[in-house]
Amino acid sequence: MSKKRYERPVIVKQQSGFMNKYGARESIKPLTEIDNIKIDELTEKFGSPLFVFSEKQIREKYRRLYKIFKTRYPKVRFAWSYKTNYLSAICSIYHQEGSWAEVVSEFEYDKARNLGVKGENIIFNGPDKDEAALEKAIREKALIHIDHFDELYMIMEITERIDITANVAIRVNMDTGIYPPWNRFGFNYENGEAMLALKRILVNDRLKLRGLHTHIGTYIMSAEPYRVATLKLVELAKTLYNQYDVKLEYIDIGGGFPSNNTLKGQYLDAEQILPTYEDYADAITSALFELNLPADELPVLTLETGRALIDDSGYLISTVIATKRLSTGKQALIMDAGVNYLFTSYWFNHKLMPTKETFGFTENTVVYGPLCMNIDVIRDDIYFPTMQKGDKLVVLYVGAYSVTQWMQFITLRPNVVLITEEGDVEIIREAEKLENITAPERLPEKLKDFSLDEQL
Ligand SMILES: *Cc1c(COP(=O)(O)O)cnc(C)c1O
């Protein structure tokens, strides 16, 4: 038996386990496996840090959400929000489930096309679509969701120049009761701008108005703003129907449903305070029925849900590089994954779990990443078991935005694996190598030679 390492004793005020009005603090249980695959096995084979996605959980969540909407409204379509997670394997799971693609840049558009999504199944959102991107998307019959008048005029020029019809919708922004309002994207509802944009589209023969779109924000913690937003789009649709005899094929309510993550400054866990997905579905679909249309004329309800679909199915395994006692006595963990992979830790108090049984004692802990930067903090204050070098922990609910917003900064990005429904573990993005980063660099000839041999 190897001799245990001596650790200087510290006295810390014990605060865990007290009752408060919400009950007692839960004891911290370990997470030893994901989909029956041992976490130790995963890191042995694929290294640490490691992003892990569960195909089973992704498909189950998708089917659950789809069903919640489909049982309340007859025509439902999801379009996968690429920016939320555009790893090819992840997008392809959603496409296999029947989801269209929702993209906000030419890069994402091309990525969807490369995966085999036809233009007509792509929703092209976002304020930045240049002329070449628009021309390509229009030729490929994508749905162009127009963001501003300059884009509208550019589309008019393109369609005239190449004599083609474009499939369009407008993005509408509005007061939904959320403050500050997201009024930078799309055309405003209240000041009449949205109606004006629609009129300009309707008088143009080369523009085919297919739908209306809004995306009211992200991590919206109440269903009510969705009811308000849907009702406002329904009002626009009624005006089109009654005054212009125009029928819409779809109404797109965007994304924005929350996941299990807990926002900073939120006292209770998200799971305890958020509305259910059924609440959101009730708000949206009951507002759509205000159209008072017969079943065959009802527009398709399109949803661009990102975060709520993928967040809970993504995990980040990380290893303790070192532990420290800060001068205050507080436990500090230095992990091998930091904010470079978890941009989302600026907004969320990510849920962390140890990967082996601990003894029930928890202490106030700060969890740092490996970067040489003061901002590299995963959790400021978390009651966590005492840990040692080499111990692992898992960051939960990191499926959304982390593997798209992550930075190549100081370290290379790690492997991303998918646990398939069959129980196989497949790499879906290889760990980066030095060559991946230096390949696009060019070193001017005159900078190639130097000598550091000292001549003292
Ligand atoms: C980001 C985005 C989404 C997805 O939002 P979530 O909050 O992740 O559900 C959907 N639609 C548009 C236009 C977006 O920009």
Please identify, by atom number, the ligand 1 atom nearest to the C-alpha of residue 257: 9
Q: Is 218 in the pocket of ligand 1 (CB under 6 A)?
A: yes
In a domain, 64, yes or no: no
Q: Which residue has the tokens 């096309």?
A: 113
Residue that terminates a domain, selected from 303, 321, 354: 303
For residue 378, list its beta bridge partners: none
Q: Are residues 184 and 209 both part of a single domain?
A: yes
Question: Do residues 392 and 319 make contact, with C-beta atoms less than 8 angstroms apart?
Answer: yes
For residue 366, list its beta bridge partners: 332
Cα-to-centroid distance, 62 and ligand 1 (Å): 16
Neighbour-count burial for 408-441, b at 16+ CB within 10 Å, e otherwise: eeebebbbbbbbbeeeebeebbeeeeeeeeeeee
Helix (H) or strand (E) holding 96: helix 88-96
Q: 359: exposed, middle or buried (C-beta count within 10 Å: 0-12, 13-18, 19+)?
A: exposed
Q: Is 213 in the pocket of ligand 1 (CB under 6 A)?
A: no
In a domain, 103, yes or no: no
**How many Cβ atoms are within 10 Å of 127's Cβ, its own excluded?**
14
pLDDT at position 233, please?
98
Spacing of C-alpha 208 from chain mean position: 31
Q: Are residues 138 and 173 both part of a single domain?
A: yes
Q: Is 83 in the pocket of ligand 1 (CB under 6 A)?
A: yes
Q: Which residue has the tokens 């300009």?
A: 200
Phi-psi region of 276 (alpha: psi -120 to 50; beta: other; left: phi over 0): beta
Q: Is 311 in the pocket of ligand 1 (CB under 6 A)?
A: no
Q: Are residues 337 and 293 both part of a single domain?
A: no
Closest to 420 (Cα-Cα) out of 86, 54, 89, 59: 54
Residue that terminates a domain, selected from 303, 338, 369: 303
Q: What is the pTM of this model?
A: 0.94
Q: Which residue has the tokens 């939320």?
A: 84
Q: Are residues 35 and 130 both part of a single domain?
A: no
In a domain, 447, yes or no: no
Domain hosting 194: range is 126-303
Q: Are residues 163 and 237 both part of a single domain?
A: yes
Q: Is 363 in the pocket of ligand 1 (CB under 6 A)?
A: no
Measured between alpha carbons, how far is residue 2 from residues 5, 8, 294, 323 in Å?
9, 19, 76, 20
In a domain, 118, yes or no: no
Q: Are residues 345 and 419 both part of a single domain?
A: yes
Rounded to an integer, what distance in angstroms lies between the CA atom of residue 108 and that of residue 105?
5
Q: Are residues 426 and 374 both part of a single domain?
A: yes
Rounded to an integer, what distance in angstroms lies between the CA atom of residue 129 and that of residue 132?
8
**CATH number of domain containing 47:** 2.40.37.10
Rounded to an integer, what distance in angstroms lies between the CA atom of residue 39 and that of residue 391?
11
Cα-to-centroid distance, 439 and ligand 1 (Å): 32
Q: Is 254 in the pocket of ligand 1 (CB under 6 A)?
A: yes
pLDDT at position 21, please?
56
For residue 208, list its beta bridge partners: 167
Q: Are residues 195 and 228 both part of a single domain?
A: yes
Per-residue pLDDT of the chain (456 residues; tens, 9 = 90+): 678 778 777 666 655 455 555 555 556 889 999 999 999 999 999 999 999 999 999 999 999 999 999 999 999 999 999 999 999 999 999 999 999 999 999 999 999 999 999 999 999 999 999 999 999 999 999 999 999 999 999 999 999 999 999 999 999 999 999 888 888 899 999 999 999 999 999 999 999 999 999 999 999 999 999 999 999 999 999 999 999 999 999 999 999 999 999 898 888 888 888 999 999 999 999 999 999 999 999 999 999 999 999 999 999 999 999 999 999 989 999 999 999 999 888 889 999 999 999 877 889 999 999 998 888 999 999 999 999 999 999 999 999 999 999 999 999 999 999 999 999 999 999 999 999 999 999 999 999 999 999 887
In a domain, 142, yes or no: yes
**How many Cβ atoms are within 10 Å of 346's Cβ, its own excluded?**
10
Residue that terminates a domain, selected from 268, 303, 338: 303
Rounded to an integer, what distance in angstroms lies between the CA atom of residue 414 and that of residue 36?
22
Measured between alpha carbons, how far is residue 152 from residues 162, 169, 296, 327 in Å?
16, 10, 30, 60
Cα-to-centroid distance, 209 and ligand 1 (Å): 22
Strands 187-188 and 166-173 come out as parallel
| Contacts with 16 (C-beta within 8 Å, 6 or more apart), sequence order | 25, 361, 362, 363, 383
Q: What are the phi and psi torsion angles at 142 (to 5°)?
A: -65, 160
Please identify, by atom number, the ligand 1 atom nearest to the C-alpha of residue 217: 7
Question: Do residues 40 and 30 make contact, with C-beta atoms less than 8 angstroms apart?
Answer: no
**CATH number of domain containing 195:** 3.20.20.10
Rounded to an integer, what distance in angstroms lies between the CA atom of residue 98 and that of residue 188?
32
In a domain, 446, yes or no: no
Question: Do residues 311 and 399 make contact, with C-beta atoms less than 8 angstroms apart?
Answer: yes
In a domain, 412, yes or no: yes
Rounded to an integer, what distance in angstroms lies between the CA atom of residue 455 and that of residue 443?
27
Q: Are residues 278 and 344 both part of a single domain?
A: no
Q: Are residues 279 and 196 both part of a single domain?
A: yes
Please identify, by atom number, the ligand 1 atom nearest to the C-alpha of residue 305: 9
Q: Are residues 184 and 267 both part of a single domain?
A: yes
In a domain, 72, yes or no: no
Question: Do residues 78 and 94 make contact, with C-beta atoms less than 8 angstroms apart?
Answer: yes
Neighbour-count burial for 179-195, b at 16+ CB within 10 Å, e otherwise: eebbeebbbbbeeebbb
Q: Are residues 318 and 181 both part of a single domain?
A: no
Domain total of the chain: 2
State the number of CA atoms in the 13 A half-sphere of 324 facing the CB.
12
